[in-house]
Each structure stands twice: as structure tokens, then as C-alpha cells.
Structure 1
Amino acid sequence: MSEALFYDTLRQGLWIAFLISLPVLTVALIVGLAIGLFQALTSIQEMTLTFVPKLGAIILVFWITMNFMTDTLVDFFQDTLLATIAGG
């Protein structure tokens, strides 16, 4: 395995990790900002108010995008990693 192939595979793996984590992190950011704004406007400082809705939104988005995540990882593994392991 050449150094260029190693770094290209690593780059592709990092890009796949970014794409897979993007929906969950985006929803966590949006829900966190909305709840933070709500807390600032109402002066409610309850810790569970930030945790529970954010966790629920993350679980919901993870469940909805699970098929996309699985397909993306399987395609990367079959197209890139297996070909590299087999010597192609």
C-alpha cells in the first residue's frame, strides 16, 4: 500500500464520518440554540430542560437517518476498503 493510497483512504473515511454525523450534530445545535433562547427569554434555568428535548431530537434524527448512515458506511467499506484489502 502506497502512502498516497493510505492518505486517500483516510481522507475518504474522514469525509464519510463527517457526512454521517452532520444530521445529528445539526439537529443538536438547532435544538440547543432554541432551548437556550427560550431559557434566556423566560429566565428558567432547569438542566433537564436542555437535556431531554435535545436527546429526544437526536434519537429521532438518528432513527430517521439510520438507513442513510448504514448505506454510506457499507458502500465505503465495499467500494474502498475491501478493494484496498484485496489489493485492487
Structure 2
Amino acid sequence: MDDAVFFDTLRQGLWIAVLISAPLLGVALVAGIAVGLFQALTSIQEMTLTFVPKVGLMLAVFWVSMSFMSEALVSFFATRIIPLIAGG
């Protein structure tokens, strides 16, 4: 395998990782900002108030987007990784 194929495969793998993690990270960011704003407005400084909504929302988004994540990974492996392994 030459360097161009290796770096192209690495680039595609990193892009798939970004696509898969974007929904979870986006929800964590929005939930963190919303809870932080709520805490600042009400002067409630409870640590579980920041943790529980984030985890709940991230689990919900993970459950909804799990088929997209699986399809993206399976597609990447079927079209890119397995042909490289089979081709030698």
C-alpha cells in the first residue's frame, strides 16, 4: 500500500468519526449552554443539574441516530477497508 492510499483512508476514517460524533457533541453543547444559562439566571449551583439532562439527552440522541452511525461505519468498512484487505 502506498502512502496516498493510506492517507486517503485515514482522512476518510477521521471524517466518518466527525460525522458520527457530531450529533452527540452538538446535543451536549446545546444542553450545556441551556443548563448553564438556567443556573446563571436562577443562581442554582447543583452539579447533578448539569449532568443528568446532558446524559439523558445524549442517550436519546444516541438511540435516534444509532442507525445512521451503524450505516456510516458499515458503509466505510464495506467500501474502503475490506477491499484494501482483500486486495493485499
Distance in 2 separating the partners of 1:87 and 1:11: 20
1:10 to 2:10 alignment: yes
How far did 1:52 drift? 0.2
Distance in 1 separating the partners of 2:43 and 2:63: 33
CA RMSD, Structure 1 to Structure 2 (Å): 0.9
Percent identity, please. 65
1:67 to 2:61 alignment: no
Letter in 1 for 2:6: F
State TM-score, norm by structure 1: 0.98
- Aligned pairs for 1:1-88 (under 5 A) are 1-87=1-87
How far did 1:71 drift? 0.3
- Structure 1 runs of 4+ off > 6 angstroms? none
Q: Deviations over 1:34-72 (max 9, x none)?
A: 000000000000000000000000000000000000000
State TM-score, norm by structure 2: 0.98
How far did 1:87 drift? 1.3
How far did 1:86 drift? 1.1
Aligned length: 88
SS of structure 1 residue aligned to 2:76: helix
SS of structure 1 residue aligned to 2:44: coil
